Amino acid sequence: MGYEETNGVLRHPEGRRAVFLGDFIDRGPEIRRTHEIVRGMVEAGSALAVMGNHELNALHFTTPDPVLREEDGGPKWLRSHSESHRRQFVETVRQLGPDLEAWLAWIRTLAVWMKTFDSEGVELRFVHAAWMETKMRRLWEEPTDSGEFCFTGPFEAPVLTQAGLVDFGRRKDPVSGKPALGWKSKEKFLTGPEKGLPAGVSYLDKEGCERTSIRVKWWRDPAPPDGARSSRLIRRA
């Protein structure tokens, strides 16, 4: 793509900027190198980056709930330490080693989505899974049950607050019992909209976990072209 390495950072001679859309961890043999490339470019101004669901999972996996505890008195993590979750995260832990905390701290600085303009004034939107502005604006505008906001910064590049990180990791508020504001909404734009499968139907994903829902290609119009629709109706008649 024409990028050249200068002083350890990839830059484009024409001043272009790459955009990274998250999921820098949990996959492949070069997690550390991936982080070094992305972070170096972002900090040098030659790239933009937003958080993916795997980055959020890592933050939740390593963050205890500030209020809730397990029955044995131990910490209740915002992402459970189930066998499947441990298996997903273990390679990241192994490759980043003693630098894991430093990398997690950098991940916390990433915007959850981003809106900007190109050199010709065309609006550009960057998000890991699905751009659903109504839900995103509600999360940005409304406080959680604690009275704190999920994000700091402008809507165009919001960064999670500590309250937002917790709200994204809880199914419901422990005091009010109401569903957490961030829990369901973040699934849409960080994981992608899903559709439940019929009762009794499931499949195993590539990691061997059973799934009872599938992700939806939200960007596609579900209606067939007019001609195809008409022909199907004629056959039914």
Tell me the C-alpha distance between 112 and 191, whole Å. 12
- 79-121 pLDDT, tens digit per residue, is 999 998 999 999 999 999 999 999 999 999 999 999 999 889 9
Task: Give the per-residue pLDDT at 228.
Answer: 54
Q: How confident is the model at residue 225 (pLDDT cuts 50, 70, 90)?
A: low
Domains defined along the chain, listed by start: 4-192 (3.60.21)
Average pLDDT over residues 137-151: 92
Handedness of CA 138, 140, 144, 148 (dihedral sign): negative
Q: pTM of the full predicted structure?
A: 0.87
Bridge partner residues of 116 (DSSP): 124
Residue 199 phi/psi, 5-degree rounding, is -55, 130
Strands 151-152, 159-160: parallel, antiparallel or unpaired by DSSP? antiparallel
Tell me the C-alpha distance between 38 and 47, whole Å. 7
- Which DSSP symbol is given to 188? I
pLDDT at 231 over 70: no
pLDDT at 230 over 60: no
- 159-216 pLDDT, tens digit per residue, is 999 999 999 999 888 878 888 888 878 888 998 888 899 998 998 887 778 889 988 8
Tell me the C-alpha distance between 170 and 150, whole Å. 13
* Token pair 């996996």: residue: 61
Mean pLDDT, rounded, of the chain: 89
Q: How far is CA 6 from the centre of its chain?
A: 30
Distances (CA, A) of 155 to 2, 115, 136, 179: 32, 8, 9, 23
